[in-house]
Amino acid sequence: MYRFCSNQTIAFLLVYRYEHKISILDDLHLDLSNSDVVTYNSALCQKLAHEMVMADLEFQRNHPEEYRRREEEKQRFIDKQMEEIF
């Protein structure tokens, strides 16, 4: 059906329906709230992605050797998967 980033989106949907006096049954398939939920979910996903990138950059600055090792492991895994596919 719909994919949400987290429970925060579900909570937003519940509060949105309550504040706008929308019945769950009337909005069963998000006919009334879809655009606002999509907008909220998009903003939330962007925020979470930004936080992940910032955490990765901080880890890279604080632990350069460990970061390099992890990146090499990721690349080896990707290479192995690509070999198995082709």
Are the beta carbons of 34 and 3 closer than 8 angstroms?
no
Predicted local distance difference test score (pLDDT) of residue 1: 43
Whole-structure pTM value:
0.64
Cα–Cα distance, 28 to 34 (Å, whole number): 10
pLDDT digits (tens, 9 = 90+) for 56-75: 999 999 999 999 999 999 99
CB atoms within 10 A of CB 45: 15
pLDDT digits (tens, 9 = 90+) for 11-41: 899 999 999 999 988 888 888 888 898 899 8
Long-range pairs of 78-81 with CB within 8 A, sequence gap ≥ 24 = none
